[in-house]
Structure 1
Amino acid sequence: MDLPVMPPVKPMLAKSVARIPPGMQYEAKWDGFRAIVHRDGPEIVIGSRNGKPLTRYFPELAEALVERLPRRCVVDGEIVIAHEGRLDFDRLTERIHPAASRVKLLAERTPASFIAFDLLALGDASLLDTPQAERRSALEKALDGVTAPVHLAPATTDVEVARTWFDQYEGAGLDGVVAKPLDLPYRPDARLMYKIKHERTADVVVAGYRHHKSGPVVGSLLLGLYDTTGSLQHVGVCAAFPMKRRAELIEELAPLLMDDPVTQGHPWAAWAEEAAHESARLPGATSRWTGKKDLSWVPVRPDLVAEVAYDHMEGDRFRHTAQFRRWRPDRTPASCTYAQLEEPVRYDLTEVLSGGG
């Protein structure tokens, strides 16, 4: 492979802002695996956000990208899997599997798509120093008439259209909107773009915590919601506390510590049993991502209610780490159910890929 921009390349990133800024190029924020694709004739490398190759996990995409991308190019985009008109991140994570036979089977059952939204090189020319608006124009020409499973991400410079997308596209499983300054060059691993994500709040039960890697202070709180059967399901964690606050939380939670979670009836007492994870959402499940990481946690009586902010749900859990807002002593744990969660209006992913119809 001999391209003007060689792998590995870390993608340009975005920083969070509260509102959609004016005067920029706007795109949907895709909820998948960020990937930079290098193609040089028959050679293809699909690089992940951290620079490690993803090519072996998406053989069907590697073949499609060789067929559909320009002969020599470097393209930034997102790998996604759609299910029933929505993005499905859980099905995407299943593809990261050590067994080639499993990867091949899933490639046939749940094929992935690639959403292209930036062009870093074309032919013998590097476009890293080319302004965003010009890169977008070159990308549109390079992918003119491209067919699935490769797609050109819809883009607009109309902020009102972007606001409409922000409201509508969540129903298709998307994550918000990305805003890109029109004169912005491509700068790998730099947070120079802007992302605007949905934020909602929920009242959740705190049923345990994990220690911080630095010592005996709280690293993250384990959160739960009651389902329709009255079972407390683990829905995620909240973290990102200042160090002083982490120490304070240890003291606040100390009266709720449980010496023997099994006999004292903690709802997640069976978390260490692999079979228990098949019938309920419990903390501590190992995965291809956690590997041999220590997933032990400290159980506490599920008596405290916290208000947390979250962006959206992935099935029956928070898609990303939630943000602690405040304690809710006025709420009972039993009142913290899935029923309080806002459900976005459904929106077909095919409408997104056609620019909103």
Structure 2
Amino acid sequence: MDLPVMPPVRPMLAKSAARIPAGMHYEAKWDGFRAIVFRDGPEIEVTSRTTKSLTRYFPELVAALGERLPERCVLDGEIVIARDGRLDFDALTERIHPAESRVRTLAERTPASFVAFDVLALGDESLVDAPLSERRARLEEALAGADAPVHLAPATTDAELAQRWFEQYEGAGLDGVVAKPLDLRYRQDERLMIKVKHERTADCVVAGYRFHKSGPVVGSLLLGLYDDAGTLQHVGVCAAFTMKRRTELIAELEPLRMDAADGHPWAAWADAAAQEKSRMPGATSRWTGKKDLSWVPLRPERVAEVAYEHMENGARFRHTARFRRWRPDRTPESCTYAQLDEPMSFDLADVLR
């Protein structure tokens, strides 16, 4: 492979903002695997945000890229999987599997798509120093004849339209909106774009915590919600505390600490069969590997309000939640899935159209 921009490439990143800024280039924010695609004739390499190779996990997509991309190019975009008209991140994570046979089975069952939103090189020309407005025009030209599963990300300079996308596209599983200055040059691993993401709050039962990697202070709080059957389901964690606050939480939660998990709603957390019937912390996966998944059980009596972006398949927080405050006025039993605000359904096909 011999391209004007060669791997490894760390993609340009975005910093968060509370609202959509005026006077920029706008795109929907996709909830998938960020990917840089390199094509030099028959050679195709797909790398992740951390520069690791994703090529072997998406054989059907590699074949499609070879049929639909220019002969020599480097594109920035997102690998996504759609199911029932919305993005399905769980189906995407299933692809990171060591067995080639399993990967190929999933490639047939839940094929992936690539949504391109930037171009770093075409032919023998590097475009990293070209302004975004020029890169976008070149990308549109390069993908003019492409069709599914390769897509050109919708884009606009109309802030009002971007706001409508922000409100509507969440129903198709998208994260929000990304804003980019029109004169922006491509700069690897720098937070020069702006992302505006959805945020909601929920009252959750705090039923345990994990220690921080630095020592005996709180690393994250384990959160639960009661389902219709009255079972406390593990829905995620909240973290990102200051070190001072991590130390304070140890003392605050000490009265609730249990010597053992016996009698705790998640007492069977280490039992793989029990994990299949109910959501509990500690389930091993290809992501956790040999990571220590042990946790400190707490009597599920305290309620915290946390901020979250959206739910994954209606069962758990897609990303780490953010602690807002304690809710002494709420009972644990009142913390149910019914309180969650989920967006109106919107078909992903209408986004890509």
TM range, smaller chain:
over 0.9
> CA contact under 8 A between 2:80 and 2:92: conserved in structure 1?
yes
Number of equivalences: 352
Distance 2:183 2:225 in 1: 45
Structure 1 residue 260 displacement after superposition: 2.6
Aligned to 1:159: 159
| 2:39 maps to 1:39 | yes
Residue 324 of structure 2: aligned partner:
325
Q: For structure 2, which runs of at least 5 residues remain unmatched after alignment?
A: none
Write the distance in 1 (CA, Å) between the matches of 2:236 and 2:66.
39
Identity of aligned residues (%): 78
Q: Distance in 1 between matches of 2:127 and 2:293?
A: 43
Residue 136 of structure 2 aligns to a residue whose secondary structure is: helix
Gaps of 5+ in 1: none
- Of 299, 306, 309, which residue of structure 1 is paired with 2:307? 309
Cα deviation 1:167-226 (Å, max 9, x = unaligned): 000000000000000000000100000000000000000000000000000000000000
Counterparts of 1:268 and 1:255, CA distance in 2: 19
Quote the Cα distance in structure 2 between the aligned partners of 1:200 and 1:171.
14
**Residue 179 of structure 2: aligned partner:** 179
Mapped contact 2:260–2:297 kept (Cα < 8 A): no
Partner Cα distance (1:11, 1:176) in 2:
19
Query: In the alignment, what sits opposite 1:115?
Result: 115
Q: Say which of 277, 280, 283 aligns to 2:278.
A: 280
Q: Following TM superposition, by how much is the alpha carbon of 1:8 offset from its aligned partner in structure 2, in angstroms?
A: 1.3
Letter in 2 for 1:348: D
Mapped partners of 2:120, 2:228: distance in 1: 49
* Partner SS, residue 207 of structure 1: strand
Give the conservation status (yes or no) of the 8 Å contact 2:3–2:124: yes
What residue is the counterpart of 1:16 in the other structure?
A: 16
d(CA) in 2 for partners of 1:281, 1:186: 41
Counterpart residue number, 2:143: 143
Q: Distance in 2 between matches of 1:274 and 1:322?
A: 25
Q: Secondary structure at the match of 1:61?
A: helix
Which runs of structure 2 are paired with 1:1-357 in the superposition (5 Å)?
Answer: 1-262=1-262, 265-315=263-313, 316-354=315-353
**RMSD of aligned alpha carbons:** 0.5
Letter in 2 for 1:266: H
> What is the CA distance between 1:267 and its match in structure 2?
0.2
1:84-119 per-residue CA deviation (whole Å, 9 max, x = no partner) reads 000000000000000000001000000000000000
Structure 1 stretches of 4+ with a deviation exceeding 6 A read none
| Separation of aligned partners in 1, 2:78 and 2:261 | 43
CA-to-aligned-CA distance 1:4-38 (integer Å, 9 cap, x gap) = 00011010000000000011100000000000000
TM-score by length of 1: 0.98
Letter in 2 for 1:32: G
Equivalents in 2 of 1:62, 1:189: separation in Å?
25
Name the amino acid aligned to 1:205: V
Which amino acid in the other structure matches residue 103 of structure 2?
Answer: V
Task: Give the letter for the 1:69 counterpart.
Answer: L
Distance apart, 1:145 and its partner CA = 2.2
Normalised to the residue count of structure 2, the TM-score between the two structures is 0.99
